[in-house]
Amino acid sequence: MKRTKRTPKVRIHIVSLGCAKNLVDTEVMAGVFAVGRFSLVADPAQANVYLINTCSFIHDAREEGEDEIGQALRWKKKKKGRRVVVAGCLPQRSPEEVHERFPDVDLLLGLDDVPRAAEMIESCLEGNVAETTITGAPATFLYDHDSPRLLLTPTSFAYVKIAEGCDHRCTFCAIPAIRGPQRSRDIDSVRIECERLVDSGIREINLIAQDTTRYGADRTDGATITELLKTCDQIPGTYWLRLLYTHPRYVTEDLLATMAQAEHILPYIDIPLQHINDTMLQRMGRRVSNEETIRLMEAIRSTCPGITIRTTFLVGFPGETDAMHRELMAFVESFRFDRLGVFTYSPEPGTPALNLDLPPVPQETADARREELLELQQGISQAHNDVLLGETLDVLIDERVGPGEFLGRTKADAPDIDNCVHVSGPEGCLELGLVPVKITGTDPYDLYGDVIVT
């Protein structure tokens, strides 16, 4: 009997916005779609469903989400039967606002809708109104090692979300209200997921959460980030383990000693400091002082010599004076971070910072402060990179960008947020994963080099 190939009923085009934590949610949804026999299509023209997983962290992220929704709605108008689905932080935070601004959106998916996203979309395609779980109550969903998941990152690396939600109350941040209280996975679940990833050939696992250092604090089994790292470090194989999103208040000596002694955990720490001025830190609700921060930074460098330290700062928070900004500049100049990002303050609905009776910083001033910090860091970063000229470094190849041309990263660079190495080398580099690269050129951000062929 001749078989006819049937076009899958649901052909879905997915756009994932925002951070790696949101990307993991997208990947779990994509896994749910794969089980539901949806086909994922890269070209929206081939799709009948356009899904946007949004971010709502700051104003710019919301704007990006809204632009993408506008684009999807224009796509919808071109053909009958098409559906637009909006998922993630934007509808979770304010579903009414999304409905009001974009009445032609067909379906909203909240954070707790992830496991049943496929059935909700099918129902929507059949013309039914799918009930979402967005109720205004904090989200509770947490994926585990048995959740279906389709990786959307290059074959070299993956993210593993070890906890969801956040129990801190940084006064500028809307995340706890959107993502709910912290809920940590159990150590075994994380270990099993990491083992499977290593077995599948993934060479770098990035452990993520809103605050990885508070991992386990909500559990009753005594799980801690240190225990988790020790457990994952014992997984046999050739791979890197990278710890992202730590909080300065909870980086302990024990954690640093574990990182220093581990076989797979990279000498890299991502530690958003937000500011260095005591008054600013206090107003931001960071629960760590200038003195404690400086002591911690010194401890990180002395316990883990050669470690790469990445941080982010927030400028233009209400009441930030020129003198406070100068203090931050002086700190950055003297500490010479390896990697540094800067955000400008964005007043977020529902956050305590809105009620602070402090003078707002004009946007132009905040933008100028950001530029000034980034310019300072550029010189520091160029100097860090210049030291590497002529060195041979292990580079993890992420992508082939042309014949004999690749993009990769060193241990000092996390995916998506840090620097790249532009690599020239023989075809097949991508399959090799980790290759030795001789550094032949630098700029303030990136390195350039040739694969050493043995």
Residue type, 370: R
Residues 274-293 that bind ligand SF4 (CB under 6 A): none
With respect to ligand SF4, which residue has the nearer C-beta, 112 or 211? 211
The least distance separating ligand SF4 from the CB of residue 171, rounded to whole angstroms, comes to 9
- Choosing from 14, 175, 380, 396, the residue that interacts with ligand SF4 (CB under 6 A) is 175
Q: 């993502």: which residue's tokens?
A: 179
Give the binding range for ligand SF4 (CB under 6 A) out of 116-124, 162-170, 359-367, 426-434: 162-170
Residues 220-249 that bind ligand SF4 (CB under 6 A): 247
- Choosing from 58, 125, 166, 281, the residue that interacts with ligand SF4 (CB under 6 A) is 166
Asked if residues 340 and 310 have their Cβ atoms less than 8 Å apart, the reply is yes
The least distance separating ligand SF4 from the CB of residue 143, rounded to whole angstroms, comes to 18
Nearest to 230 by CA among 216, 220, 218: 216
What SS3 state is found at 205? Answer: strand
- Choosing from 24, 32, 120, 170, the residue that interacts with ligand SF4 (CB under 6 A) is 170
Q: 């790249």: which residue's tokens?
A: 420
Other CB atoms within 10 A of residue 334 CB = 8
With respect to ligand SF4, which residue has the nearer C-beta, 288 or 366? 288
With respect to ligand SF4, which residue has the nearer C-beta, 66 or 211? 211
Asked if residues 414 and 270 have their Cβ atoms less than 8 Å apart, the reply is yes
Nearest to 106 by CA among 50, 181, 180, 45: 50
Is residue 210 a contact residue for ligand SF4 (CB under 6 A)?
yes
With respect to ligand SF4, which residue has the nearer C-beta, 213 or 442? 213
Other CB atoms within 10 A of residue 375 CB = 10
Report CA-CA distances (Å) from 15 to 44, 72, 110.
10, 10, 16
Q: How many residues bind ligand SF4 (CB under 6 A)?
A: 9
- Choosing from 168, 196, 219, 422, the residue that interacts with ligand SF4 (CB under 6 A) is 168
The least distance separating ligand SF4 from the CB of residue 284, rounded to whole angstroms, comes to 8
Other CB atoms within 10 A of residue 319 CB = 15
Other CB atoms within 10 A of residue 57 CB = 21
Is residue 420 a contact residue for ligand SF4 (CB under 6 A)?
no
The least distance separating ligand SF4 from the CB of residue 211, rounded to whole angstroms, comes to 5
With respect to ligand SF4, which residue has the nearer C-beta, 204 or 270? 270
Other CB atoms within 10 A of residue 103 CB = 8
Is residue 173 a contact residue for ligand SF4 (CB under 6 A)?
yes
Nearest to 143 by CA among 25, 61, 306: 25
The residues binding ligand SF4 (CB under 6 A) are 166, 168, 170, 173, 175-176, 210-211, 247
